Amino acid sequence: MAGVTDRDDVLFDLASMRKQYRAQGLAESELAAGPVEQFARWFEQAATEGGLFEPNAMVVSTADAEGRPSSRTVLLKHFDERGFVFYTNYDSRKGRELGSNPYVSLLFPWHPMARQVIVSGVARRTGRDETAAYFRSRPHGSRLGAWASAQSSVVAGREDLDAAYAELAERYPEGGQVPVPPHWGGFRVAPSEVEFWQGRENRLHDRLRYVARADGSWRVERLSP
């Protein structure tokens, strides 16, 4: 049987697509004291030798008030001991969901390195000063785009988007100031658990998870692959 579908015109035999992952593992003894430091080490490797197009691309999963999940890719723009920051439209689906249910999962799919990092935590809006500082660092076109798009709402057609952008480009010419949209800004995800997954041979992968203690320190546990 070809793949996971009954179609007889599939190009790939999905069921037989598998890679043998690297033998070099991740040991408790080599872990950093905290997950942010460990993330920094892996992120540097992902950015320099990972062969990844956008190592800061991550899958953000949210759930609505009834627990129905949704996922999408966003770009990580900053991280430090306080958490992981991304920017978006607060009126978007994810923005509204985080408004009623701040629990969130971030997943970094670093497939070429046979690695993934999964962060679980709580998202809070960044302060307006922090948002404004980042907004001003964006290219002019991206700043206009944040105004032109009512993210996640249904739009009649491409023409409407282009017309909204053209109107804004006339009102705010290149080189001038663009105000920060009130509906746009950052979320900072404060981690409560961070799992580092390293693919190993024979599917015996290493999974080491930091779990926050009440006093702010971290304990590490190994999960079965």
Secondary structure (DSSP) of 91-123: TSHHHHHHHH--EEEEEEEEGGGTEEEEEEEEE
To the nearest whole angstrom, how small is the minimum distance from the Cβ of residue 72 to ligand FMN?
4
3-class DSSP state of 213: coil
In the bound state with ligand FMN, the residue whose beta carbon lies nearer, of 77 and 207, is 77
Q: How far is the CB of 182 from ligand FMN (least distance, A)?
A: 16
Q: 58: helix, coil or strand?
A: strand
By annotation, the residues acting in catalysis are 203
18: part of which helix (H) or strand (E)?
Answer: none
User: How many CA atoms lie within 13 Å of 43's alpha carbon, on the beta-carbon side?
Assistant: 19
Quick one: 21 or 110, whose CB is closer to ligand FMN? 110
Q: How far is the CB of 14 from ligand FMN (least distance, A)?
A: 23
CA distances (Å), origin 105, targets 7, 80, 86: 34, 17, 13
Q: Which residues lie near ligand FMN (CB under 6 A)?
A: 54, 57, 70, 72-75, 86-89, 92-94, 151-152
β-pair partners for 43: none
* Of residues 115 and 209, the one with the C-beta less far from ligand FMN: 115
Annotated binding site for FMN: 72-77, 87-88, 93-94, 116, 151-152, 197, 207
- Residues at the annotated binding site for substrate? 77, 134, 138, 142, 203-205
Binding-site entries: 72-77, 87-88, 93-94, 116, 134, 138, 142, 151-152, 197, 203-205, 207
Shortest Cβ 95–ligand FMN spacing (Å) = 6
Closer residue to ligand FMN in complex, CB, 152/192: 152
Q: Of all helices (H) and strands (E), which one includes residue 29? A: none
**Amino acid of residue 142:** S
